[in-house]
Amino acid sequence: MAIEGDVTVAVANPDRREIGVTVAANGTDRVAFQSLVADDLLEVERVIHATADVPVGLLARTLELVLGPGGKRLRPTLVLLASHGNARASLQRRIDLAAAAELLHTATLVHDDVIDVAGSRRGAPTANHVFSNALAVLTGDFLFGRSGSLVAGLGSPAIMRAFSWAVMEVVQGEMRRPSLDTDLEATERDYLAKIRGKTAALLAMACETGAMLDCEDEASRVAHHAYGMSLGMAFQIIDDILDFTGTEAELGKPVGHDLRQGTVTLPSLLYLRAHPADTVVRAHLGGEGTIGEGDTDEAVNLVRNSAAIGEAHERASAYALEAIGHLASRPRTPARAALEALAEFVIARHD
């Protein structure tokens, strides 16, 4: 079905032409690289929403709220693509693993919203805003438990270890607080370490466990883990760029949210490196000086209209190419082509 306002990105590899990278302008339709596993994703969706079928009415309501805005289901897509074509892994086991990855991700988002005192996510109210911080934390805990239950049902200690590793990495990433230093390179190293833990680790886990499911191909496991890490770095940097260049409707939160929160990201770091005398952006990130009315909008515009956006995009593109390179030793299959197209989509996306 044609979608008005689609943006199509050409791909250099002819193996990926059938898959393409078509980004729906409204953000609600499956992007083209998911077509290979579209039917499987519908089953994953069923498992995800069945999680809210619990006897405790209050928990059912909080779960329905946090499981409602689906997003693009990137993590289950990665699981399904990494396990695609493995005849030893039954469809149900692939679906359970994919659902577990998404529920784990959702649990981290629920806890993130509590930490950030966020009132909305993807344009919808958060559990902590509608209910309370306590109920949101308990809802996140339940999702962690449900994710673990699905993984335990697979009977693979190795996959359980990979999930546990990802949880520990996310916590460490969340607890990193890069702050402005006279040495901006040190600050950038802290920022990169943060996004490796907070974002890339979950994508790496999704890819790695998909490749591991009922399979003992160590080379495949390593390649998919590395692909996921590089993909995650690209994904988060693009997210940080969109925080300056997107619209509130696309982002589901105010433009410049990170800057308003005093969160250091790559675009703002690159801007400060090029503008050492700046005081407006620095005041938001370093607590130096007074932030007056309209200063935040000015700071957002300074970064948005600077070369820092293009430089950050180049860095994200380099990570995406690195991700594709990690798959070079794998057989040329439709799943590999879809993963390569996914990496290109991450760079092309606008929401």
Q: Where are the domains of the chain?
A: 7-348
C-alpha–C-alpha distance, residues 350 and 239, integer Å: 9
Q: What string of pLDDT tens digits covers the 351 residues of the chain?
A: 222 233 233 333 434 433 333 333 333 345 788 999 999 999 999 999 999 999 999 999 999 999 986 778 999 999 999 999 999 999 999 999 999 999 999 999 999 989 988 887 877 889 999 999 999 999 999 999 999 999 999 999 999 999 999 999 999 999 998 888 778 999 999 999 999 999 999 999 999 999 999 999 999 999 999 999 999 999 999 999 999 998 777 776 777 888 888 899 999 999 999 999 998 999 888 766 667 667 888 999 999 999 999 999 999 999 999 999 999 999 999 999 999 999 999 999 866
Q: Read off φ and ψ for residue 17, nearest 5 degrees.
A: -65, -35
Q: Please report the sign of the dihedral spanned by the C-alpha atoms of residue 175, residue 192, residue 103, residue 210.
A: negative
Superfamily of domain 7-348: Farnesyl Diphosphate Synthase (1.10.600.10)
C-alpha–C-alpha distance, residues 296 and 20, integer Å: 38
Q: By C-alpha distance, which of 131, 134, 159, 132 is closest to 147?
A: 159
C-alpha–C-alpha distance, residues 271 and 185, integer Å: 13
Which tokens in the block code for residue 279? 């005081």
Q: What interhelical angle do 57-67 and 91-116 show, nearest 10?
A: 90
SS3 for 23? strand
Looking from the CA of 286 toward its CB, the CA atoms found within 13 Å total: 17
Specify which residues 125 forms β-bridges with. 120
What does pTM read for this prediction? 0.89
Which tokens in the block code for residue 339? 């993963």
Q: By C-alpha distance, which of 314, 317, 320, 311 is closest to 340?
A: 320
C-alpha–C-alpha distance, residues 202 and 348, integer Å: 21
